[in-house]
Structure 1
Amino acid sequence: MKIFLYRKLPENFDQDIYIWDVDKTYLHTNFESFKGLMNILFEFAIDKTAIPGAKELLRELRRGKESKIGLSPIFFISASPVMLKKVLEGKFLIDGVQHDGIVLKDYRSLRRLLGKVRIKNNFPYKLMCLLTHRLLMPEKSTEILFGDDFERDADIYSLYADILSHKIDREGVKKYLLKEKLIKKEIEKILALVEKNQKRSSKEVVKKIFIHQIKHQDPKWFLKYGDRLVATQDYRQTAEILYTMGKISKSGLKRISDSVWK
């Protein structure tokens, strides 16, 4: 992985940090087919399309509610390759999305670290990214995570949240990873990150997990993850919940709703 941080938060920062996935959470992408994968690699920033309401929601989260000064921290954690950094940064600029950092997949360094690089199964990669990124954030900060149901963001985010809150210990994580059939080096790397994170804090770091539904599954399917995770059909629904949480303004909610209903 390659981590690009553009803002260092103060040590005593105790507010929310918003962490977003990119593909199928912020951007419409098609990596299911070879043609779609080639399009992703060779598209210009102007060619990429945001999911309705995503860029508006990101802008409103950055701005915050009326009574609060803006610049809420936003970070992206993606399995997109490092070579797409300039294109993604260009898309953020076009969409008016300000952010504080991005994590991208560095195939060369991952191969050196793990001996192999998974192309399709990003479970170990994303978990490693989240745990590594967390060590760079202030200990008192909290997080709100945004992903989708195309792959397994719900499982990854929930496991990550349980690790930080000590709801699962090192041995429990190891058993989980063995069931996922991860290789030895992946397990060792993740367990080392688990130990470092659990030495820092045992509080509920992850306040909410939002899963953007691509597959349009029955909402009841997500009940197993508990109240912490919410699956939504579009970003209007996501925005309504964030408004009740006091994270965006009333006018911001309207702007997001209008963009979804265009």
Structure 2
Amino acid sequence: MPQFQSSGYSLAYETAGQGPAVLCIHGFASSGRVNWIDTGWVETLVNAGYKAITFDHRGHGQSDKPHDPDAYYPERMMEDSIALLDHLGEKRVAVLGYSMGARVAAFLSFNYPERVAAAIFGGMGMNLINGLTDGNDIIAGLRAPRLADLTHPTARQFRIFADHTGSDREALAACMETSRQPMARADVRRIEVPVLVAVGQADEMAGSPEPLAELLPHGEAFTIPKRDHMRATGDTKFKAAALEFLSRTFPVSAEP
């Protein structure tokens, strides 16, 4: 995978397709490939006429993996997105984030509205503001000597996922310590770009999408039917809602 530099780290990325660019920001313990390519998102975006940009967060995939929690505050991870857009010469993009990636997308939309035409917050509702209640359990699960020792369901879920993706569990534990930083309610109210908030109907991690959409000046809510946090990622109804939203807020005919 090609690499770009950000804050002294070497990060991996890929691009596919032509047209207006959609920056895809993956979730915790995942990667650009697992979150966006393997789920069919890149194919869906390219077939709709967009350029899909995926990358591996610091601490994930084929990118550098610092073990220092200070490296993973959302404001710092947000700068990786800007560094990648600058590296590719992309002045203005739509942003598609899932879970932790949606949190990063929110900070990006607030701090760099001139670079974000529209944003999709997948798997992230009111917990953008309220925070993640299971974070300490996930950290303990990642650092536990054995999976068999874990009883907390969310901790087990993420430990299994981390092991499945061959992740650096200490880097992920450091990431979980600080990347879950909540966003101030006042700042959410000042995100001026159009935002689609899409959360699975059975998602117990994200928080409700409707109240968050109501706080956003140009927010819309979409409930992904019959999906929990993990299974909503590649859902066809989520993709259809996202494409419909992009067709109104960042159409293929628009200039980047």
Higher relative contact order (CA 8 A, sep 6+): 1
Q: Confirm or deny a common fold (TM above 0.5).
A: no
| TM-score, normalization by structure 1 | 0.35
| TM-score, normalization by structure 2 | 0.35
